[in-house]
Amino acid sequence: MRSDIVKKGSTKAAHRSLFYAMGFTPEDLEKPLIGIVNSFNEIIPGHGHLKDLAQAAKLGVSAAGGTPIEVPAIGICDGIAMGHLGMKFSLPSRELIADSIEAVAQAHALDGLVLITNCDKIIPGMLMAAARLNIPSIIVSGGPMLAGCYQGKSISVSQMFEAAGQFESGKINSVELAAMEQSACPGYGSCAGLFTANSMNCLTEALGMALPGNGTIPAANSGARKMLAKRSGLILVDLVKKDLKPRDILTQQAFENAIALDMGIGGSSNTVLHLTAIANEAGIELPLSLFDAISAKTPYLTKLSPSGTHHLQDLNEAGGISAVMYELNKAGVLHTAALTVAGPLNDRLENAQTTCPDVIHSVDNPYRKTGGIAILSGNLAADQAIVKESAVENDMLVFEGPAHVFNSEDEVLEALLDKEVHDGEVVVIRYEGPKGGPGMKEMLNPTAIITGMGLRVALLTDGRFSGATRGACIGHICPEAMDGGTIALVENGDRIAIDIPERSLQLLVSEEELTKRRQAWVRPEPRFKSGYLARYAKLVSSANKGAVLV
């Protein structure tokens, strides 16, 4: 066993004595040492209940003949971090999570990992660690939050961000706002819509790194969640015995399955960033063109919040991710022979069925014949940009208007509250990319306020958008402004043309004029001169490469 290096031989007597200090027995040290990486904390609603899942996973590991050892992982709540300095740390925390798991697992020679996670950057961070370490690993998520209810309608945190715009425009009063606040998030779990966290949890099933139900069983269904965790612990020990490693599972076919599922359910645009980063750790390149190619042949089968009215609990009741993949397989977009932690993918599809056809449409009756995410290119995005096409209203798929330029999210928020943004404009938020931000902030606050105010505008950024974002919001524009991309050259009043069906994003300015502006452009001073964000800005790659550290 890998862990023998810290357990066996006379030279490890001191090591064994340290294990005995914690109550381990000599018999425990004869078994595989399994890290139970638990991101429990008391600041993220999706993580507050993970202690129970860790305990269930430990029981599974013990029953299978392993020795469970719980270790922590950090996490950031994107919702609480949104709209201020904290959001600059969200994406960079993904790298900290992966690095810290690598450090603990390598330093203690753990034989395998049960990765207990939830929420936006923690899930991909743990998957990156699994691919990098390449020791037997399995993902267990905390599950989605139930939707809240206000005045007889389902709501979630995304409606609360939009409620700020409704309040500022006088559509609701302070009493109504307070009542909504106390109704939107009824308990533990990752936020109830198909936002980034739940998108990634669903994709763990298609990647083969988690058991069926991992993406959709609600956190409130604690019995089913504990059962999933216990089974995962059992299976992980078997993976150790078989020496089945993440890179045996995270193959090119697995990533293509995940992309197809992503397109079929209309997941968060952030999944492109995270899948690319995970693939990088597995030694696989995922060009953005692959996402668009798979999207072109993948039908869009579910319309979950924020794009529709259904939530993850509805998808779970309708048959979950296995039922979605069963339908997608009819379209020929899946590699069913791909390995998972519990056999080939095809085994999961044999007994899958859709019980609510209004939630999971058939391939013969899709919401759209193509997938939920589109990759755009043009002179404004020479290295491409991303939009969640499934969340864009039909009358905004093709749009042209004058640019209204802002050099930070803070600037646009101030302008929105001062009623300085007007219908028909293309709002440009730049210097918010991985290097420029630094940290590539999500822009849910401005997009939600725009939606709440009822403004008909498009929004472009070299930053990114929350999975809760809806509307003509185009992010991940590359090269970013800090790298001298064309987005850095846009001036107020320039015409910008967006054509999502044609995958085009164009700044309607002559090349001669752009050359003059490029020659006059001066790179701004970094916003941070010390600390983690300063180091991150120096090391991070472009968004189209996954914003990984190089």
Residues with catalytic function: 466
For the chain, give the number of residues.
550
Q: What sign for the dihedral angle of Cα 401, 505, 381, 261?
A: positive
- Taking the alpha carbons at both ends of the chain, their separation in whole angstroms is 32
**Taking a C-beta distance cutoff of 8 angstroms, is the pair 67, 32 a contact?**
yes
Contact 447, 469 (CB under 8 A): yes
Beta-carbon count within 10 A of 134 CB: 15
Distances, alpha carbon 280 to alpha carbons 140, 481, 526, in Å: 22, 24, 27
* Tokens 């715009």, located at residue: 165
- For residues 403 and 426, is the Cβ–Cβ distance under 8 A? yes
Element (H, E) at 33: strand 33-38
Nearest to 201 by CA among 86, 100, 93, 316: 316
CB atoms within 10 A of CB 25: 11
Q: What are phi and psi of 500, to 5 degrees?
A: -65, -45
Distance CA 113, CA 512 (A): 56
Distance of alpha carbon 520 from alpha carbon 486, whole angstroms: 13
Q: Outline where 244-344 has alpha helix (H).
A: 246-249, 252-265, 270-281, 288-297, 312-317, 320-330
Q: Return the closest-CA partner of residue 407 out of 235, 522, 256, 322.
A: 522
Alpha carbon dihedral 236, 242, 245, 249, in 10-degree steps, equals -90
Q: What does DSSP assign to residue 149?
A: E
Closest CA to 141 of 69, 46, 65: 46
Per the rule left: phi > 0, alpha: psi between -120 and 50, beta: everything else, 319 is left
Rounded distance, CA 548 to CA 129, Å?
13
Q: Which two tokens stand for residue 70?
A: 């719980």
Classify residue 103 as exposed, middle or buried by CB count within 10 Å of its CB (0-12, 13-18, 19+). exposed
